[in-house]
Chains A and B, each alone.
Chain A
């Protein structure tokens, strides 16, 4: 069942088109992450769904009801903001009850809902405190609680963890995931952090300048990005890109700087034209430096730069004149100047048209 449906939504501020004919269908109970760099329109889209911004064209449906002209409070949504946006002069309890009092709910119902939210989020001891007396993690918990007490079907998160330090972020990430499993609400979550996106999402919508480039499961987005932009945006360290052409007689090969990479194991999405200019992408973690293995492609390369990252080491070398990064386990990191054998399976690669940047 469809929970949130965004249909042909555009939004322009003067001459700037922030959202361009955008479509998005979110299923009941699904966790969708809107991912993209700042300025790609992901927060704007969330604000449109929440009703805090009016769309220029298009419609928004929540639970089958056209809410395009509805006020935020009537849309059946709860929202969590990056800066927590707690009302500073009210206690935690006051913050949680503010929306319910505005909705003129009976007192015992308000108390019941606050008790439930406080229990789920474990903020019972904080109820009488003011936001100023809370830590960042506690504040964000209260902010989630404020969405929770509204008893709504759709939760909207606008970069909720971006103001927290790395450790707290990891903790609350797990907590949000647990919350989703427990409540099974629809959740739409905006972030620029790809780790959050990969770990939380059922499906990720990767956005760029007002359009959704790819909407798919984290696994698909990581392994089969639809274009060069998505391939480069997802993954850290980023994917290696080699420029070259498609060659070969019976079996296609990728040719760059005199190096030929056989593509017989690569699953082409579209027929490869011989002589076409393409970009060959391979993730650093999919390249190995193990001379013992029998890789479909392997070659000798000289180590140029070594970047230790703790759990593993990023080794920069070259294929022809083009840089390529290789991710190796730390205990086997080579030294600068060493000759190593690198190899990979082209099945794991992504090939994009150099012109249209689309996946081939």
Chain B
């Protein structure tokens, strides 16, 4: 019990240091049963979820002979980055043997415009729906939300026809259009709810000050809503980067996004299964969303702290 009182005794007023009755902050035991259960469970669950990642990293750093020993959990004896290089630059998918690099740049060319365009449109949508209650706003909103509940698979073929008629089938432009449209319901909902939580009086004050639709959007609403833009960006980047279905349907081999290429590398039927290359390729593909999480997590917190004004 000695450590129990140290915290309290350290801060205690010298005049009452000897007093045994409760004084100041209640002493807390570090190794209480509650703490052991909580941290123990958390550690176990974290280890369980990290296990596959560990196996992937370890395997990607081994050579094929070492993998054939079958010690999945053993750390690599000889660390080699060969598989990573191969996955990025020389792995073959079909006729092309330039690795994932082609798919990576395709994915970048798909993701960047899709994210920017969809967020811009969705934020203006949400702003209009939340702050300018125009006639039929509720109907528009309902239609948009219903759109979110229709399974993608139903719409694949009609969209193929639409893209063909527009002359963009198989191009990156077509895929960008598809991603922008499918990102609309959830992001509009997100922005609408955020803008609806901005005090209405702020909007009224801006109107009295003579600001119009765009002036209020750009000068008042945008600077206040960094957090929701970051949230929306995370959703869109991960969603679009990880998309496989639209990528495989609406593009051609030379415009395949990274996920489709990854699939083609991992699921190739001829030749030896190069587990180390497969693992490296998968990790490479998953890296982008991971980086986004790490970077924007900080931005997210900063955004919340910057925007808040309480009464």
Contact = CB atoms under 8 A, between A and B. Distances in A.
B205 A89 contact: no
A72 B220 contact: no
B92 interface: no
Contacts of A194: none
A132 B308 contact: yes
Chain B interface, DSSP helix/strand/loop, else mixed: helix
B301 interface: no
Contacts of A85: 199, 201-202, 204-205
Contacts of B204: 47, 50, 52, 72, 79, 81, 85
Contacts of A103: 210
A103 B215 CA distance: 12
B21 interface: no
Interface residues of B, number: 21
B302 to A, nearest CB: 14
A86 B309 contact: yes
B307 A88 contact: yes
A232 interface: no
A103 B306 CA distance: 28
A102 B210 contact: yes
A72 to B, nearest CB: 5
Nearest to B222: A89
Contact of A83 (B208, B224, B311): B311
Contact of A77 (B201, B208, B219, B309): B208
Contacts of A265: none
B207 A73 contact: yes
Interface in B262-311: 306-309, 311
A146 B201 contact: no
B223 interface: yes
A163 B224 CA distance: 22
A82 B201 contact: yes
Contact of A146 (B199, B205, B224): B205
B160 interface: no
B311 to A, nearest CB: 5
A84 interface: yes
A102 B206 CA distance: 10
Interface string B195-231: 0000101101111111100010001100110000000
Contacts of B205: 79, 81, 85-87, 146
Contacts of A102: 209-211, 215
Interface string B7-19: 0000000000000
Nearest to B199: A83
Contacts of B207: 52, 71-73
Contact of B208 (A73, A84, A163): A73
Contacts of B199: 83, 85
Interface in A52-98: 52, 71-73, 77-79, 81-89, 98
A87 B222 CA distance: 12
Nearest to A130: B309
A75 to B, nearest CB: 9
A136 interface: yes
Nearest to B202: A85
B311 A98 contact: no
Given A88-B309, A132-B308, A163-B311, A83 B201 contact: yes
B202 A99 contact: no
Given A85-B199, A87-B202, A72 B309 contact: no
Given A82-B201, A98-B211, A98-B219, A87 B311 contact: no
B311 A99 contact: no
Contacts of B215: 102
14 contacts: A47-B204, A52-B207, A73-B210, A77-B208, A82-B201, A83-B201, A87-B206, A89-B306, A98-B211, A98-B219, A99-B209, A103-B210, A146-B209, A150-B209
Given A83-B311, A158-B201, 8 more contacts: A52-B204, A83-B199, A83-B201, A85-B201, A87-B206, A89-B306, A99-B210, A136-B311
Nearest 4 pairs of A and B residues by beta carbon: A99-B209, A73-B210, A85-B201, A102-B210
Interface of B: 199, 201-202, 204-211, 215, 219-220, 223-224, 306-309, 311
